Amino acid sequence: MEDFRKEDKGPDAAKGILISEEWGFDENGEPYVERTYVKPQNPRLRVHDSKDVTKTRVCGTGSAKMTVELSASFEWDSSDKRVEVYDVEGQVTDMDGVNEVYDEKIVISGNGTSKATATYTCKGKKSLSYVNGKINISCNYNGKISSNGTR
C-alpha cells in the first residue's frame, strides 16, 4: 500500500469538490483508491434539486493498473421521495500497463424510487494479468450521495 500511495496523483480539482476519499484492498488483495466529486448545478427556478457526480477509482497494482471513472447526474424530489439518474458515462481514463479494456457495462437501477444507482464495470488485460474495475454511485431522495466499489 505504501508504494501505491506514493504513485498516486492525488485528487483532481477539475472533477469538482472532493466529498470522499477511500483507500483499501479489493477482494483479490489489490490496493485501490476511490474519490467522489460533486459539481452542484446552478440554482434554477424548479421544484427538484440536482447534482452532477463523478467518481474515480484506481485499481490494480505493479505493472497493470487502470483508473476507471463514472459520471452521473441525479435529480431528486424530497416530497415525492424519489430520485432519477441520467447522463451516465463510464470510462477508463488511465491505463498504466493495461493493453486492452473489455466487458465494459453500465447499469442503472432504482430510477423513480427512493434510491437510484449507476454502476460501471470493466476488465483490463496485460498479457496474462487482469484488472477488474467496478465503481458505483447512488443518490437517495434527499440528495445524499453514497458510493462504493468492489470490496
What averages of pLDDT result for each successive group of 10 residues across the chain (151 residues)? 86 92 89 90 65 93 88 93 96 91 97 96 88 93 76 33
Q: How much is the pLDDT for 149?
A: 47
C-alpha cell belonging to residue 39:
459539481
C-alpha cell belonging to residue 56:
474515480
Contacts of residue 32, Cβ cutoff 8 Å, sequence gap at least 6: 23, 24, 25, 26, 57, 58, 59, 149
Q: How much is the pLDDT for 47?
A: 56
Domain housing 98:
2-149
Q: How much is the pLDDT for 127?
A: 82
Predicted TM-score (pTM) of the model is 0.86
Backbone angles phi, psi at 95, to 5 degrees: -120, 100
Q: How much is the pLDDT for 130?
A: 85
Q: How much is the pLDDT for 148?
A: 60
Count of the separate structural domains present in the chain:
1
